[in-house]
Amino acid sequence: MKNIMLICAAGMSTSLMVTKMRKAAEEKNLEADIFAISASEFDETVAQKDIDVVLLGPQVKFMKNQFTPVLSKKNIPIDVINMQYYGMMNGEKVLDQALKLLEI
């Protein structure tokens, strides 16, 4: 089971991406807990939940430097979702991006 967390400004715009990524994970027979949070929920969520990888929505890419120190202490990779994949709501490509960070 892989835990993939997406972060966006309010947790809204990534909800459709989560749905698309879950569908792609099902098609690959991959067990994954894929969920989205707002940036304001970051500290609490990281403290309470096991997370394997974090992807930032393009609209909050400026926050990567803020989140990286906390995540690196826990060996959790972080990246910004490819803007083209995000714009096209390509859940399969974004899932692949997450899995590549996990070296799966």
- Residue positions annotated with a catalytic role: 8
CA dihedral 29, 30, 36, 40 (to 10 degrees): 180
Give the three-state DSSP class for 33: strand
The closest of 4, 94, 12, 98 to 60, measured between CA atoms, is 12
